[in-house]
Amino acid sequence: MHVLIDTDVTLDFLLLREPFAQEAREIFKACAQGRLTGAIAAITPVNMFYLARKVIGTSNARALVGDLLTLVAVCPLDRAMFSVAQKLPLY
């Protein structure tokens, strides 16, 4: 199964944020074990670094983002995708 993992779930996992750290860990564990194919939005690594460096420092934030990128795919984001999204109906 393919899953898109939200930035907040990623933060919960990498920064051990409670109360959802354990649930987030299970999602990433399933990705590491191949039970899920995880993906994150293209902006997530940028946001992760920006937020994590404030909490754990620049070097540790770089390492965490690097580790994250070994576990999940990054969904591409370009002008064409924005054009398609713009035409989708909103509910």
Average pLDDT, stretch 48-73?
93
pLDDT of residue 38: 96
Verify cis geometry, omega within 30 degrees of 0, for the bond prior to 76. Answer: no
pLDDT tens, residue by residue, 64-91: 999 999 999 999 888 998 898 889 887 6
- What number does CATH give the domain 2-87? 3.40.50.1010
Q: What is the pTM of this model?
A: 0.79
| Stated length of the chain | 91
Instruction: Report DSSP letters for 2-34, one per residue.
Output: EEEPPHHHHHHHHTT-TTTHHHHHHHHHHHHTT
Which of these, 1, 15, 3, lies nearest to 65 by C-alpha position?
15
The single residue listed with the structure tokens 């860990």 is 25
Average pLDDT, stretch 49-57?
90
pLDDT of residue 82: 83
pLDDT of residue 88: 87
pLDDT of residue 14: 85
Q: Where are the domains of the chain?
A: 2-87
